Amino acid sequence: MTEKTLNLAAIDIGSNAARLLIKSLSEEKDGIHFSKLLFLRIPLRLGMDVFSSGKISDEKKSHFVHTMQAFAHLMKAYNVQCYKACATSAMREAKNNREVLELARQKSKLKLELISGEEESRIIYENHLNLLQLKGHFLFVDVGGGSTEIALMMDGIKIANASYNVGAIRLLKENADGEELKKMEKELREITQECSNLTIIGSGGNIGKIYRIVSKSRKDDDVIPIETLEKFYQKIRKMEIEERMRLYDLKSDRADVIEPAAKIFLRIAKCSGAKQILVPNLGLTDGLISELGRQYFRKGGDLF
pLDDT, residue 1, reads 42
Same domain flag for 255 and 209: yes
Same domain flag for 196 and 271: yes
Kindly state whether residue 122 falls inside one of the protein's structural domains. Answer: no
Kindly state whether residue 123 falls inside one of the protein's structural domains. Answer: no
pLDDT, residue 175, reads 59
Same domain flag for 111 and 138: no
Give pLDDT tens digits for 228-250: 999 999 999 999 999 999 999 99
pLDDT, residue 190, reads 94
Range of the domain at 265: 129-281
Same domain flag for 22 and 106: yes
In terms of Cα–Cα distance, which of 109, 83, 113 is closest to 23? Answer: 83
Same domain flag for 107 and 156: no
Amino acid identity of residue 85, one-letter, is A
In terms of Cα–Cα distance, which of 116, 91, 89, 93 is closest to 101? Answer: 91
DSSP E strand stretches across the chain: 4-13, 18-28, 31-42, 82-87, 112-114, 137-143, 148-154, 157-164, 199-203, 223-225, 276-278
CATH number for position 172: 3.30.420.150
Phi, psi at 85, each rounded to 5°: -125, 120
Same domain flag for 184 and 250: yes
Same domain flag for 157 and 269: yes
Kindly state whether residue 227 falls inside one of the protein's structural domains. Answer: yes
193, exposed or middle or buried, with CB in 10 Å at 0-12, 13-18, 19+?
exposed
137-143, strands of its sheet edge to edge: 157-164, 148-154, 137-143, 199-203, 276-278, 223-225
Whole-angstrom Cα distance, residue 149 to residue 188?
12
Number of domains in the chain: 2
pLDDT, residue 3, reads 59
Same domain flag for 292 and 269: no
pLDDT, residue 2, reads 47
CATH number for position 32: 3.30.420.40
Q: Which residues, 6 or more positions from 66, have their beta carbon under 8 angstroms from its beta carbon?
A: none
pLDDT, residue 304, reads 44
Kindly state whether residue 58 falls inside one of the protein's structural domains. Answer: yes
Whole-angstrom Cα distance, residue 262 to residue 210?
8
Whole-angstrom Cα distance, residue 127 to residue 216?
27
Same domain flag for 94 and 231: no
Tell me which residues of the chain have a pLDDT lower than 50.
1-2, 304
Same domain flag for 111 and 142: no
